Structure 1
């Protein structure tokens, strides 16, 4: 089955796509990655999205415009993926998280926008969407859903294995019985916000700005005092907590702070908070993915803090690092279409595993396959 996975993550700079041919052989999924891509948001749409994200305040008219505009942008990105890589049988769209409603450790609700009907209308195939809400309704955090793919990917690795995703927010999945998964804190979110505000560039390309600065230990200690880091898992966070407004407070407390020093310190914040969780669980092999793996300053800090940990990029296991989340949602969509649950209660905190999402029919009659009896326990990738 050819499934197109789609997501715009907490960096909210582009729509990531991955077309995956997924076939089940016993308890293993064999996945052939047919093509990946990233379609930047139109500048005006991204501006409206940034203004709507916390701590911004917008009306329902803006939410409606974003739901439609992002839905249409996803449909265009899907059409581009099909033109480049061939037809699809199913789309699974995460959409764009606009708000994740967290009260202490409890997630009370979550809102992803990007109306899936635009994709169904454009391609004429069924679309799975709104995947997080069911886990939240079952008492879970609604995240990190990528943990399901991580656990399948880590199966069979020696020692204590974990997967790390360095997107806007960093999350970790630790293999075990049961497995654990949670957000550790910011990955690129604060770094990107600082660079964007000062230069207009969306991120610290190649870690060049951080490499020019020095870590301000006093500021780093202040940032590490955030109570979120001391909460036990399962837990999730987002730009509701780690938003650009924090940087305004930093500049107020530290006048004259240079951009390189700020970015170096924020990069160290990500490395320190990630390394603390890796050490907490005695991880010996760490499989990393996400945009942060392209930042040699960040990965260098991680290697320095974790000298005894084998740090791999997910490509070494056949999984493209930049497209991991889009691939994960292709796999989640496949599970939903076949009636299989794809959440891990020990990772999200839900009362039980659930079949995720809502399904928008395509152009013809909606025909679902009979639910499968065997839940996959491992996954293999090829290209």
Structure 2
């Protein structure tokens, strides 16, 4: 079965796609990763999206328009992926998260926009969407859903391994054989991106190659205030997002610290916040390997900081496991689509905090009858990814 996975993450900079052909042999699922790509949002659309995200006020009219415009952008990216990567049996669209409602340590709801009917109409292929909310209805956080891929991919790693995704938010899955725990650690790029964008430090709105951070010095007083965030003391499972970690959060921390570092020092401090919070949790997990993906793995300041803070841990990108670091989440949602199509759960309760596993998503039919494969009675025990083409 060939599945197209699609996602725009918490950095809301564009759409990542991955076409994966899945083949099941006994208890081992093989994923052949074909066409992958990243399509930036048009500048005007990204600006409108950023202006509508919390804590900014917005209107239902703006949400409706963004739902359509983002859906159309996903539809074009899907059509391009099918054109270049070949026909697919199913499209899985995570869409764009605009709000993740967490209250009292529990996820109450989540909203991803990007109307899937535009994708189905443009490609003629059925679309699976709304993949997070079913886990939330079962008492989970709906995140990090990539943990289902991590559990299968790293199950055989001697000494235990952790998979770390550094997007807007840093999330981690700790795997020891069939035992798994996953959660959101805190901000990865979210706060840095907010400052770089608001202060015009880079035209692309992020600290490319960690250049700004590398030119600054850490403000220890501010860092101490940032590290005192109550979220870090919550026990897993837990999830967070830009509803908490945004530009106003940085301004409030600066006010509490009573300090005004220069732009480079501020970015260096926020980058060190990511390193400290991640390294602390990885060290506590006691794993021998840290497998890193997401945009943050291209930041040499972050990667150097993690390696220095974790001398006994093998820190490297997920590419070595067949999952290109920029495409891993898109591959994960393709996997979730394969699971749903076969009637299998796409969650691991210990990874999200749900009461039990759940089959995920809502299906939008394509151009013809909705035809699904014969259901399977047991989930695969491991996953092997290989890049092809």
Q: Give the TM-score of the pair, scaled to structure 2.
A: 0.96
User: Aligned partners of 1:376, 1:203: CA distance in 2, in Å?
Assistant: 38
* C-alpha displacement of 1:85: 1.6
**233, 236, 246: which one aligns with 2:236:** 233
Question: Are 1:216 and 2:224 counterparts?
Answer: no
User: Aligned partners of 1:284, 1:114: CA distance in 2, in Å?
Assistant: 39
Question: Are 1:349 and 2:350 counterparts?
Answer: no
User: Aligned partners of 1:104, 1:275: CA distance in 2, in Å?
Assistant: 26
**293, 297, 310: which one aligns with 2:297:** 293
**242, 245, 250: which one aligns with 1:242:** 245
Show CA shifts across 1:297-342 (max 9, x none): 0000001110111112111111100000001000001101111101
User: Aligned partners of 1:109, 1:232: CA distance in 2, in Å?
Assistant: 20
User: Aligned partners of 1:64, 1:159: CA distance in 2, in Å?
Assistant: 48
Moved more, 82-91 or 3-12: 82-91
User: Aligned partners of 1:249, 1:230: CA distance in 2, in Å?
Assistant: 19
The 3 A distance-change label for structure 1 pair 14 and 254 is farther
1:182 corresponds to which residue?
Answer: 183
Q: How many residues are paired up?
A: 383
Matches within 5 A, 1:268-283: 268-283=272-287
1:21 corresponds to which residue?
Answer: 21
Question: Are 1:79 and 2:79 counterparts?
Answer: yes
User: Aligned partners of 1:170, 1:225: CA distance in 2, in Å?
Assistant: 17
SS at match of 1:304: helix
User: Aligned partners of 2:95, 2:102: CA distance in 1, in Å?
Assistant: 19
2:209 corresponds to which residue?
Answer: 206
Contact kept, 8 Å, 2:148 with 2:347, in 1: the verdict is yes
2:196 corresponds to which residue?
Answer: 195
SS at match of 1:135: helix
SS at match of 1:322: coil
Contact kept, 8 Å, 1:205 with 1:295, in 2: the verdict is yes
* C-alpha displacement of 1:285: 0.9
* C-alpha displacement of 1:250: 4.2
Show CA shifts across 1:69-112 (max 9, x none): 11111001111111222211110000000100010211111001
2:315 corresponds to which residue?
Answer: 311
Contact kept, 8 Å, 1:99 with 1:110, in 2: the verdict is yes
SS at match of 1:91: strand
User: Aligned partners of 1:282, 1:95: CA distance in 2, in Å?
Assistant: 34
Moved more, 362-371 or 221-230: 362-371
User: Aligned partners of 2:244, 2:262: CA distance in 1, in Å?
Assistant: 23
Contact kept, 8 Å, 1:26 with 1:374, in 2: the verdict is no
* C-alpha displacement of 1:22: 1.0
SS at match of 1:7: strand
User: Aligned partners of 1:342, 1:165: CA distance in 2, in Å?
Assistant: 18
Contact kept, 8 Å, 1:151 with 1:179, in 2: the verdict is yes
Show CA shifts across 1:209-263 (max 9, x none): 1000011111100000000000000000000000111223245455542111011
Q: Give the TM-score of the pair, scaled to structure 1.
A: 0.98
User: Aligned partners of 1:250, 1:121: CA distance in 2, in Å?
Assistant: 46
Moved more, 169-178 or 333-342: 169-178
SS at match of 1:321: coil
The 3 A distance-change label for structure 1 pair 256 and 224 is closer
1:164 corresponds to which residue?
Answer: 164
Q: Which runs of 4+ in 1 moved over 3 A?
A: 250-256
SS at match of 1:311: strand
Show CA shifts across 1:154-198 (max 9, x none): 011110211111111000000135310000000111111111111
* C-alpha displacement of 1:374: 2.6
Where in structure 2 are there 5+ consecutive unaligned residues? Answer: none
User: Aligned partners of 2:191, 2:328: CA distance in 1, in Å?
Assistant: 21
Contact kept, 8 Å, 1:6 with 1:16, in 2: the verdict is yes
* C-alpha displacement of 1:354: 0.3
Where in structure 1 are there 5+ consecutive unaligned residues? Answer: none
